[in-house]
Amino acid sequence: ARAEVAYFGAGPAGIPTPVLERGAAAFVNFEDSGLGLAEISHRSSTATKILDETKKGLISLLDIPDNYDILFLHGGGSGEFSAVVFNMVAVWVEKRRRKAQEQFGDDDEAILLRVREELKYYLRLDYLITGSWSLKASQEAAQLLDPLGQNFVNVALDARETNEGRFGSIPPEDTWKLTPANANSGCGSAFVYYCDNETVDGVEFPSFPQCLEAQAGENDRLVICDMSSNFLSRRVDVKKYAVIFGGAQKNIGITDITLAIVRKDLLGDMPPPSFLHKVGVWSPPTILNWQIVSKNNSLYNTLPIFSVWIAGEVLRALIVLHGDSKVAGQEAVSNAKAETVYRVLDTNPDVYQPVNHRDVRSRMNICFRVKDPKTEKQFLAEAEERLLQGLKGHRSVGGIRASNYNSVSMDNISKLAEYLTEFAQRKR
Ligand code: PMP
């Protein structure tokens, strides 16, 4: 029956059947060791090997440069909303502390006063809000910093403002209100945050924002990106980012692990916790502390090795499939699948309405309406009968959402396209 189901759920996503089958065996008895992967110690040599191979797979597929570390974390994408704030504020404070040290030498009191002042006046966290996940991330930042009695979050863009209160577009970069890179005697903002693909709203950045490109003579902007729902679906120039993170449960594997690709210099730039406390901010909680997780090879505490292994198998399958073209090969497949669906929607505009502006339509989460609301229910019911599953839009926005993650085959996309065409013909 599994082979007959075409699953378009938004996350967790499907996993390639061969990976699940090998996983089922490994869950019970891994490589004939007599123990399953959920039973072995995360500190065993087997676990370390699995961790290393999964990392290698990711490095190879995405061409991750040597000056980045790969972390396996807990708490999902949501956990990283908090981790970003804790870690990056600490990095910002450390930068200011070092600068003050240059000026004041070993006058600790003067250093502390200077950094306190700078924090109060200059700390900014820039968020580009293009959908409900970047919105949540910005709200988490505001919430975490609220006890400091100030709003440090700079909403550099809220895409709803120019789109009738709804997400669905990304306004031109020259309308964004980023903190100037060299503002405030070189303090700049602690980071610029965006979500590459908004899963609920179906909005995807077409490419890396030009205004975030490093510019000679300016402070390097630290760009943080949530790629939870489009990881491994297109090429990424990793060196443009300070941190890329995402939960595994869409394009990488099953839930339970979160991946972060972190530029190594940021991992060294942590002030002593006591200094942070004196300045008035918390040091990162240990399991969200990227520096500690990195130092411990992601084994500070118990890591779900089974989930890491599944991710490794998914990566290995992509490497085998695409060979030297690596993630560019998957990009071509993802684009072709998305185009197949959008083409049918666009050729039947009397029945279907893609909800987002054409230039930011997500290739991963294809959101549309059936124009007649009564027919929309029927569309979903008949889809279910045909074993086209998981098409219902997110409860907050309604409509239809066909998620086109890497495990969705072209065959299943074709089945969906056929149904879309046939349904439109009937409704005409
Ligand atoms: N970011 C994005 C883009 C997401 O799609 C999701 C989950 N769907 C999250 C963050 C939150 O991830 P988690 O459920 O792993 O906390």
Q: Which amino acid is at 169?
A: S
C-beta of 414 in contact with ligand 1 (< 6 A): no
367 CA to centre of ligand 1 in angstroms: 17
256 CA to centre of ligand 1 in angstroms: 12
Domain 54-307 listed as CATH 3.40.50.150 = no
Q: Which of 242, 284, 281, 265 is nearest to 115 (CA)?
A: 281
Ligand 1 mutation target, pool 127, 133, 140, most atoms within 8 A of CB? 133
Residue whose Cα lies nearest atom 9 of ligand 1: it is: 77
Helix (H) or strand (E) holding 334: helix 326-347
C-beta of 406 in contact with ligand 1 (< 6 A): no
DSSP 392: B
Give the number of the atom of ligand 1 that is nearest the alpha carbon of residue 78: 16
C-beta of 390 in contact with ligand 1 (< 6 A): no
Q: What is the CATH number of domain 324-427?
A: 3.90.1150.10
350 to 168, 305, 383: CA distances (angstroms): 20, 50, 19
CATH 3.90.1150.10 domain span(s) along the chain: 324-427
Residue 299 is predicted with a pLDDT of 97
C-beta of 76 in contact with ligand 1 (< 6 A): yes
Instruction: Give the pLDDT means over successive 10-residue stretches in the chain (428 positions).
Output: 95 96 98 97 97 98 98 98 97 94 97 96 96 98 94 97 96 95 76 98 97 74 96 97 97 96 93 94 95 97 98 98 97 98 98 96 98 94 97 95 98 98 95
167 CA to centre of ligand 1 in angstroms: 17
* Beta carbons within 8 Å of 248's beta carbon, 6+ residues apart: 254, 255, 256, 257, 258, 259, 307, 311
Residue 196 is predicted with a pLDDT of 98
ipTM over 0.85: yes
81 CA to centre of ligand 1 in angstroms: 10
Residue 269 is predicted with a pLDDT of 79
80 CA to centre of ligand 1 in angstroms: 10
426 CA to centre of ligand 1 in angstroms: 37
CATH 3.40.640.10 domain span(s) along the chain: 54-307
Each as own residue / partner, the long-range contacts of residues 387-395 (CB below 8 Å, 24 or more positions apart, any chain) are 387/4, 387/5, 387/6, 388/6, 388/8, 388/415, 388/416, 388/419, 389/5, 389/6, 389/7, 389/8, 389/9, 390/7, 390/8, 390/9, 390/10, 391/8, 393/367, 394/10, 394/132, 394/199, 394/200
Residue 215 is predicted with a pLDDT of 73
Q: Distance from CA of residue 409 to its chain's centroid? A: 22
Residue 127 is predicted with a pLDDT of 98
Ligand 1 mutation target, pool 199, 257, 258, most atoms within 8 A of CB? 199
108 CA to centre of ligand 1 in angstroms: 41
DSSP 29: S
